[in-house]
């Protein structure tokens, strides 16, 4: 097609697969012969329920979610999960254990403190969040251990997940969910806002082990209790129907790519193009994250010369690259290379970085 598409490196909301957008466009005003948009369907209709159930089933299949886990769709973003997790799982007399690897884990900890005792057992803040810790400290009395699997702002990512014994491990996977296969059985719960790897903003996915649900706090407002969503197949109230439809289409796209094994290979190759441009620049560019902790989803880097960095971002924008400014809290540059960012866009950025260096060095 001749559709004009930006080289979109936004951190979130982020690029969606072109094929998914085109399918949604084709179906927008008449979904499956109903004479209605999917957005206009009752969430109680058989047509919508089929979309909803297919999305859940495909998520279970593609992400290999075992039978002893529930999958729910929520609203309020990953940020509301920061509150719901301690409300539900920080039970009487227990302590919530947070591993701090960036701003999002700090925010998660802050919310947990409203529900009870919550501590940062490990933090890499002193190292400017450039690395992922090699070990975590688990207490006997911990209700759960919480990690952020990928740190969107600092560009670090857990490569192997920590062992927490009998204590449930809970992971905020907002910025790397379904970027690679994961052994779900290692986790008590995984959650993610959809707007990076899975669809548009507005829908949040949670995958929760059943025994954790069974021992959860019960004296909670209806909409803040996971059980409400589990017991009603995430249809207790009106769900974000368009977001769920889009998420379902993104899952079909992931399957068409060859599933998560293939998507992981693509992501490794994409990130390598940009990391190579950094590493082979003789210090013209340098990465923020330590090498062993580098994210394959958010590549954070600096142009060593501060004045040239401004020029880099300006020229990149003029050349059609979107979203390359680092998060306002850390500055510098960041390229987010989520699933839907094509290899071609990463190659174009690597080429641009090399050309910019050649011109300005």
Positions marked active-site = 104, 172, 196
Name which of 104 and 226 has its Cβ closer to ligand PLP.
104
Distance CA 5, CA 192 (A): 26
Residue with tokens 């690597």: 350
Residue among 73, 98, 104, 226 that touches ligand PLP (CB under 6 A): 104
Query: Which run of H or E residues covers position 73?
Result: strand 69-74
Name which of 158 and 284 has its Cβ closer to ligand PLP.
158
Tell me: is residue 44 an annotated ligand-binding position. yes
Minimum distance, C-beta of residue 136 to ligand PLP, in the bound complex (Å): 18
Minimum distance, C-beta of residue 36 to ligand PLP, in the bound complex (Å): 28
Beta bridge partners of 73: 205
Residue 191 found at the interface with ligand PLP (CB under 6 A): no
Residue 129 found at the interface with ligand PLP (CB under 6 A): no
CA 331, distance to chain mean position in Å, is 21
- Asked if 163 and 307 touch (Cβ cutoff 8 Å), the reply is no
Residue with tokens 């330590």: 290
Residue among 121, 175, 293, 336 that touches ligand PLP (CB under 6 A): 175
Q: Which residue is nearest to ligand PLP (CB)?
A: 77
Residue 148 found at the interface with ligand PLP (CB under 6 A): yes
Residue 193 found at the interface with ligand PLP (CB under 6 A): yes
Give the per-residue contact string, 275-304, with ligand PLP (x = CB under 6 A; - = no): ------------------------------
Report the relative pairing of strands 204-209 and 285-287 from DSSP bridges: unpaired
Output Rg (C-alpha) for the chain, integer angstroms. Answer: 21
By CB under 6 A, the count of residues binding ligand PLP is 11
Name which of 12 and 240 has its Cβ closer to ligand PLP.
12
**Which residues make Cβ contacts (< 8 Å) with residue 310, sequence separation at least 6?**
none
Distance CA 70, CA 191 (A): 12
Quick count: other Cβ atoms within 10 Å of Cβ 200? 19
Residue with tokens 């957008």: 21
Among the residue ranges 40-48, 172-180, 206-214, 346-354, the one whose residues contact ligand PLP (CB under 6 A): 172-180
Q: Which residues bind ligand PLP (CB under 6 A)?
A: 12, 77-79, 104, 148, 152, 172, 174-175, 193
């Amino acid at each position: 097609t001749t559709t004009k598409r930006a080289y979109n490196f936004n951190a979130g909301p982020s690029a969606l697969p072109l094929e998914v957008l085109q399918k949604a466009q084709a179906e927008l005003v008449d979904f499956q012969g109903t004479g209605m948009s999917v957005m206009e369907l009752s969430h109680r209709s058989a047509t919508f329920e089929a979309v909803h159930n297919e999305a859940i089933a495909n998520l279970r299949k593609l992400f290999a979610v075992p039978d002893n886990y529930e999958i729910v769709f929520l609203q309020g973003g990953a940020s509301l999960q920061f509150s719901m997790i301690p409300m539900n799982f920080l039970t009487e007399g227990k302590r919530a254990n947070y591993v701090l690897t960036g701003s999002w884990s700090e925010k998660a900890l802050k919310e947990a403190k409203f529900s009870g005792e919550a501590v940062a057992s490990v933090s890499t803040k002193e190292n400017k969040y450039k690395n992922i810790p090699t070990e975590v400290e688990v207490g006997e009395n911990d209700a759960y251990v919480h990690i952020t699997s990928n740190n969107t702002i600092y560009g670090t990512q857990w490569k192997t997940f920590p062992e927490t014994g009998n204590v449930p491990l809970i992971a905020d996977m907002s910025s790397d969910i379904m970027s690679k296969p994961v052994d779900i059985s290692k986790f008590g719960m995984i959650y993610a806002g959809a707007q990076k790897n899975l669809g548009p903003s507005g829908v949040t996915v949670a995958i929760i082990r059943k025994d954790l649900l069974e021992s959860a706090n019960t004296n909670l407002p209806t909409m803040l209790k996971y059980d409400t969503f589990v017991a009603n197949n995430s249809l207790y109230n009106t769900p974000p129907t368009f977001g769920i439809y889009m998420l379902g289409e993104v899952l079909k796209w992931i399957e068409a790519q060859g599933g998560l094994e293939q998507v992981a290979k693509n992501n490794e190759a994409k990130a390598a193009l940009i990391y190579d441009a950094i590493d082979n620049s003789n210090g013209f560019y340098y990465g923020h994250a330590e090498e062993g902790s580098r994210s394959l989803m958010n590549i954070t880097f600096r142009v060593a010369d501060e004045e040239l960095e401004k020029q880099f971002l300006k020229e990149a924008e003029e050349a059609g690259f979107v979203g390359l400014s680092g998060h306002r809290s850390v500055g510098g540059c960041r390229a987010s290379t989520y699933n839907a960012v094509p290899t071609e866009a990463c190659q174009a950025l690597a080429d641009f970085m090399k050309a910019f260096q050649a011109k300005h060095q």
